[in-house]
Structure 1
Amino acid sequence: MPGPLDVLPVADGIGLPWDVPVDDAVGAIAAARATHGDAFVVRSAGDDYLFTFSATGVESFYALPEDAASKGLADYLMLRRKLPDEVFTGRRLLPAALFRRDDVSSYLVNLAEALDATERELGARGEVDLFALVRRLGHRMGLASWAGPGSADGAAFERLVAAFDVLDGSEAFVHPDAMAAVAASGKRAERAALDDVAAVVDAAVRRQEAGDAPGAGLFGRIVDAWAGEPAEERSRGIAMDVALIHVASMSNLMAALGWAIVDLVADPDRLRLVASGDRELAQRCALESTRLAQRSIMARAVVQPVAFDTGVGVVDVPPGWTIATLLPLLNASAAPGLHEWDPDRWHRHRLADTTALASPMLVTAFGHGRHSCPAQSFSLSAMTMAMIRLCGRYDVTPAWAEYPRSVPAQIGGVARSADPCVIRYARR
């Protein structure tokens, strides 16, 4: 029979970084795990979290049904610390609509065109911050894919890039320590950025309706979803659908691409093979770099009572709690050697050898089962294309003396670099 939660130890003095200042968010949870074992409770600013790290606990975590312990709600509660409620309320096309097969094909076409534009901007040689480069690439691909005609070029593109850099929802977990200031401002900067998005997207709608561009694809479906509404409500609704899709889709993918290039340029033999077009190797490199760059807190917001097996006993978890695990505490330590970058450990989308793991679910790049990231196949295709293109067209030399650090306060998503990561490049 399930038992009460009070049998689990409480990690006193530990808070989560959106509630209290924390120098190293992952390190704080790692210290609590070292003290209390693989199942413990964290109470942070009145919210209750059950952290689980054992093989049984992690398998139980991935088995939680969405209607009882919701990933969607947990993600929303995180992102709303940064984004105005308008971004979430009344949406008609959600990010889950992104990955129809015909849409994905068009996104990869747009990625190829975005890479063309990136090459024109880079020129023959120079220096550039790697993560700024791939972030701009992601903006261009995404905005071409779902923000309407003209949104990925010229002044409209630059205005949207500036707006979405303000609206970056990943700031809620990359810089959770900044969320108190966001709340204190009433999200003033974020609301102004939404107005900029609305103005540019409205112009794209008018351009499409004037017959200047085709109405197919995701943007066309967004526009159609608001047909029949009053003009002002329709215009704003289309823009907010675009805004949510963009902030939910690009930042982790492009951060992972950045780390894949960081790792690849440190391995000349594999770099040469990827530059020559080895897609299978490029995909394995993408998976391995994503695994090691994960800073994700995987969280489920409990909405119905659940009996949860922690590995040291089954406990009753009531609504209002969050059940969580932390990928960086598993991905690099669940078996010997996992702290090292080794693309050969992957076969297709899976680890080639899991015999040293207490459970295959202890290590992941994109999640497991029904909790896998729905963008996995597209993300790997996009990263593979971009790695082959950029490394094939340019000789790349890192300007950093030591391996780049991730942001210490980050607890969620793929790591962001705490420092500039400048690369020197020259066209081959």
Structure 2
Amino acid sequence: MPAPQDVLPVADGVGLPWDVAVGDAVGAIADARGAHGDDFVVISGGDRYVFTFSPTGVESFYALPEEVASKGLADYRMLCRKLPDEIFTGRRTLPGSLFRRDDVTSYLAHLGHALDVTGDELGERGDVDVFAVTRRLGHRMGLASWAAPGCADGEPFERLVRAFDALDGSDAFVHPDAMAAVAASGKRVERAALAEVADVVEGALARHDPAPGSLFARIVAGWADQDPEARARGVAMDVALIHIASMSNLMAALGWAIVDLVEHPDALRTVANGDEDFARRCALESTRMAQRSIMSRAVLAPVEFRTGAGVVDVPAGWTIATLLPLLNTSAEPSLTEWDPDRWRGHRLADVGGLASPMLVTAFGHGRHTCPAQPFSLAAMTTAMTRLLGRYDVSARWSAHPRPVAAQIGGVARSAGPATMRYALR
């Protein structure tokens, strides 16, 4: 079986933004695609990648088994550029265990309380950055859901917000150009922020018993065999990883959904009037258009990979990747426009114009669908209908907000404020 570079063109001079300075990370891969076609090789910083955008390659990508080509390892390799190693070591409650049905019910209850507090903080009228509001809302809901009692209110909450904003693992793909400086500092800022998280959570654990049946109670129970000091530290690190892994993309997506609705007044009125099904479709559509995700799989054992240019034998140590922003808005001409009515349930209503249904997605396909999709859509729907039903809103931005140019991963973060004027209905 031929090696990738024997069949696919090599995009010479193309690097990824954590290795070399790249002004527009997505644009650089788009240029390589334009020059070399839908399947090509990139060699960056000593690492080797097969990028695929062909219908055959994307379908093959989603069919890769985790034990051969690992999403988990690829995600870890990206996040560890930002996060201290100790946040990953020895974890007993992992983010993938968060979305049991009874857990989601409790998260949505906490979201309701967080929205009440958000309304109190906003008051009757004013100007606010949409993304700042949704980020703060996510912190409050998440910390109420899986941190110790008291962590979602008052000074403990404010301390945790500051710490998690500094510790934000999404910086690894939102600001990949900053990761060299993070490494050169020995992750000094990140380690200080992690110590602050531990101090707040450990202090709350010492003062409060976990609510019976809560996720925090399960986290604490997972460390019951340890002495008090090791138990408190283990609990705090579990909470830190869960929070970092769970909230930032969701709340960025909610921000874009609000931005899109503000720019589409008819749709805004429908959501403000409480149409949850339509709001859910708006959430899917905004998430589709805001995707900046590099979907990657770290190859653990040689794997035959079918591309549009032929089958190649990808060696262990390589990465197979695709980039959602280069598929989600280009696989069919109408995809450049925001149109919630293209969705039915969680799927596109009409895929007849697509070479493959897998070329477009908001949350992934098949076994690689994000496990948080039902919760994320429920949370976005609730937040959109509540906030936009409470306030009349209007845009203070003069042009549609733009994503951070260097970002290559996750849901887009806005390069600048998206200020919205609001007044109580």
Aligned to 1:206: 206
User: How big is the shift at 1:361?
Assistant: 0.1
- The root-mean-square deviation of aligned C-alpha atoms, in Å, is 0.7
Query: Which residue does 1:292 correspond to in 2?
Result: 289
Q: How many Å apart are 1:208 and its aligned residue?
A: 2.7
Matched-pair contact (CA < 8 Å) for 2:135–2:252: yes
Looking at structure 1, the residues matched to 21 and 212 of structure 2 have their Cα atoms a distance apart, in angstroms, of 48
- Whichever residue aligns with residue 194 of structure 1, its letter is L
* Alignment of structure 1 residues 228-377 onto 2, 5 Å: 228-377=225-374
The aligned counterpart of 2:12 is 12
Structure 1 position 48 matched with structure 2 position 45: no
Deviations 1:91-143 (A, max 9, x none): 00000110011110000000000000000000000011110000000000000
Residue in 1 that maps onto 2:104: 104
What is the CA distance between 1:207 and its match in structure 2? 2.6
1:161 maps onto 2:161 in alignment: yes
> After superposition, what is the alpha-carbon deviation per residue over 1:253-291, rounded to whole angstroms, capped at 9, x for unaligned?
000000000000111111111001000000000000000
Alignment correspondent of 2:385: 388
CA shift for structure 1 position 148: 1.2
Structure 2 distance, partners of 1:293, 1:156, is 32
Q: What is the alpha-carbon distance in structure 2 between the residues aligned to residue 282 and residue 216 of structure 1?
A: 31
Alpha-carbon distance in structure 2 between the residues aligned to 1:122 and 1:113: 14
1:350, distance to aligned residue in structure 2 (A): 0.2
The CA distance in 2 between the partners of 1:196 and 1:291, in whole Å, is 35
Give the secondary-structure state (helix, strand or coil) at the position aligned to 2:234: helix
- How far does the alpha carbon of each residue in 1:217-243 deviate from its partner, in whole angstroms, 9 at most, with x for none? 110000000002122211111100000
2:421 corresponds, among 410, 420, 424, to 424
The aligned amino acid for 1:4 is: A
The 2-side partners of 1:318 and 1:293 are apart by 32
> Please, what TM-score do these two structures have when normalized by structure 1?
0.98
Task: Quote the residue 2:26 is aligned against.
Answer: 26
Partner of 1:59: 59
The secondary structure found in structure 2 opposite 1:397 is: strand
2:196 counterpart of 1:188 = no
Deviation at 1:418, TM superposition (A): 0.3
Which residue does the alignment assign to 1:77? 77
AA at the equivalent of 2:363: F
- Supply the distance in 1 between the matched residues of 2:305 and 2:100 (Cα, whole angstroms): 34
Q: Which residue type is aligned with residue 97 of structure 2?
A: A
What is the distance in 1 between the residues matched to 2:190 and 2:235? 18
Letter in 1 for 2:326: L
Q: Give, in whole Å, the separation in 1 of the partners of 2:277 and 2:55.
A: 30
User: Which whole-Å CA distance do the structure 2 matches of 1:162 and 1:81 have between them?
Assistant: 20
Q: CA deviation at 1:26?
A: 0.3
In structure 2, distance between residues paired with 1:391 and 1:259: 14
Q: Measure the CA separation in 2 of the matches of 1:57 and 1:196.
A: 44
Cα contact 2:8–2:309 (8 A) shared by 1:
no
Is the 1:405–1:419 Cα contact (8 Å) retained in structure 2? Answer: yes
Give the Cα separation in 2 of the matches to 1:208 and 1:309. Answer: 55
2:411 to 387, 410, 414: 414
Note the C-alpha offset of 1:400.
0.3
3-state SS, counterpart of residue 259 of structure 2? helix
Select between 33-42 and 199-208 the one with higher mean Cα deviation: 199-208
Alpha-carbon separation, structure 2, partners of 1:195 and 1:297? 30
CA distance in 1, matches of 2:249, 2:163: 18
Q: Distance in 1 between matches of 2:156 and 2:352?
A: 52
Deviation at 1:215, TM superposition (A): 3.3
CA deviation vs aligned residue, 1:355-399 (integer Å, no higher than 9, x gap): 000000000000000000000000000000000000000001110
Give 1:90's aligned residue.
Answer: 90
Separation (CA, whole Å) in 2 of partners of 1:229 and 1:273? 53
Give the whole-Å Cα distance in 1 for the aligned partners of 2:25 and 2:142: 30
- Opposite residue 325 of structure 1, the aligned amino acid is T
Aligned to 1:99, what secondary structure does the other structure show? coil
Confirm or deny: 8 A CA contact 2:285 2:362 kept in the other structure. Answer: yes
CA contact (8 A) 1:287 1:380 kept: yes
**1:268 is matched by which residue type in structure 2?**
P
Question: Alpha-carbon deviation of 1:336?
Answer: 1.4
Question: Residue 51 of structure 2: SS of its match in structure 1?
Answer: strand
Q: Distance between the aligned counterparts of 1:80 and 1:226, measured in 2?
A: 24
1:208–1:215 Cα contact (<8 Å) kept = no
Q: Which amino acid in structure 1 is aligned with residue 358 of structure 2? A: M
Distance 2:69 2:116 in 1: 43
| Distance in 2 of aligned mates of 1:218 and 1:67 | 29
